[in-house]
Every structure is written in structure tokens, then in C-alpha cells.
Structure 1
């Protein structure tokens, strides 16, 4: 397997609400939809897709029911610690929930978490050890 991720698909309860959060609230660039039941956003080096949760579960052959922590977070690294708080505020203003405010991390950086309207967890982090 090549060591890269090309697409992350999030199962959402309300596609229009999720699009509003990611496109209008966070400003992610969305591709044209052409009336499809899926939305694609171009990220640097990958894409984010939003797809109805029940249809995504059906496609994977698993039950759509379930809640709570799914064992996965998505990370967004920023260039400095102030940007962590700015992105967390942006997500909250867009309708996301602040899960954990930005704070010094035991590994030497600074990070916090927000949840999108469907509860998908995003970590926003400044890591002084990552190369650009």
C-alpha cells in the first residue's frame, strides 16, 4: 500500500447542515455537486467527503446505529499556538462544539478539540517538532 491517504469520508445525518458547516462555516473549498448525495472538499493532498451516514454504513455493510466515541479523530495542524485558538473559535462560530479548549500538551505542543455537527472529532494542534 502506498503511504498516503487520498479521501476521508464522514457519515452525516443531515448533508445540507454538514455542507453548511464545512463550506460556509469553515471555508473549505467544495467541488460542484451536480445534485449528488455526496459532497467533496479539496484539501491539501487529500479530499474530504460528506455522505449520508445510513448510506455509508450500507456501503460498508455495517449497521448505521451507534453513538459515542468511534475511535477516530481527524487532525488539523497549524503554524503557531495562537492559530489553534483561532480555528477552534471559527469551528464553534460555525456551529461546531468546543470539546476541549486549546492547552499545552504533554508532548510539547498546544492543542484542542472540536466536534462537527455530527460529532466527528477534530484535533487542532500546533506541533513545534513537525517540519513544514
Structure 2
């Protein structure tokens, strides 16, 4: 089980400084690690890596040209303790330069959820799921969530 975790998420971005400022406004801490092609942002239990889009393509050995998809194939999610917390962080994200994709609202599954995209169109969901147990530090603990 020790390998069943996410330690770092890398996002391809168009403007490193703009993206770093956006994530700092959402509470991530910019670290001294990195260089002129990548910035590392420390979160509570993981690291977000902001990598220049062309530099990441070169590092991977591929081209990112020609992608017409408005969002990546993955939506990153942050679960919150309350609906009020979802609304607060959603408003904070939009005020920091994110785009409102879907304002938070009650869901068909009994929770509360909304979506925003960051300045590079990475899709984020903010959700309150009353069926998920959050630890004192705000992490989902699915191992102790009742079935």
C-alpha cells in the first residue's frame, strides 16, 4: 500500500509565473526547488509541478501541438468539509484568475460540487461529499468511510 499515493502532479502551463501566482493565491507554497522551466508548489501532502508546456513536451519527447481538447482527460478534485467551504474556494479560484466552468450546486448523488479551470484550462472539481470521511487535516480517508 505504501506506493498507492500521488506525490506530485505535473501541469503543462503557458506562463510559469502566472500559474505560480494563481496557485499561491489558492494556498500552495512556492518552493526554492526548480529552475526557469519548472516551478514546484508544496501542498499539504503532495507537490504540484508547473512545467512550461513546450519544455514538458521536449522532456517527454513528444509534441503538444494539435490538441483541440478544452481540458485534459483528468479532472483534479479537492473535497471540502462543507458546502460553504466549496463556495469559498470556488470564489477564491475565480478571483485569482480561474474560469468558472460550473458554479457549485447540489448534485444528483447527494453532495455539492462545482468546477473551475485554472489559467491553462486544467479542470478542477470542488466537492462536498457527505459520504466521504475527511481527516482532521482535510484528506479523504476511504479506508474508514462507511460502505
Native 8 Å contact 2:37 2:55 kept in 1: no
Contact 1:7 1:47 in 2 (8 A): yes
Point out where structure 1 has 5 or more consecutive residues left out of the alignment.
none
Q: What is the match of residue 83 of structure 1? A: 85
Are 1:129 and 2:126 counterparts?
no
Q: TM-score, normalised by structure 1?
A: 0.92
The runs of 4+ residues in structure 1 deviating greater than 2 Å are: 33-37
Q: Point out the more displaced range, 120-129 or 36-45.
A: 36-45
Indicate the RMSD between aligned Cα atoms, in angstroms: 1.5
Q: How many pairs align? A: 131
Alignment partner of 2:75 out of 54, 73, 76: 73
1:1-132 superposed matches below 5 A: 2-23=3-24, 25-33=25-33, 35-65=35-65, 66-67=67-68, 68-132=70-134
Deviation at 1:43, TM superposition (A): 1.5
Displacement of 1:64 after TM fit?
1.4
Distance of 1:54 and 1:123 partners within structure 2: 26
8 Å Cα contact 1:58/1:64 also seen in 2: no
State the distance in 1 between where 2:37 and 2:87 align. Answer: 33
- The two structures have a TM-score, normalised by structure 2, of 0.83
- Structure of larger gyration radius: 2
Structure 2 alignment gaps of length 5 or more: 135-147
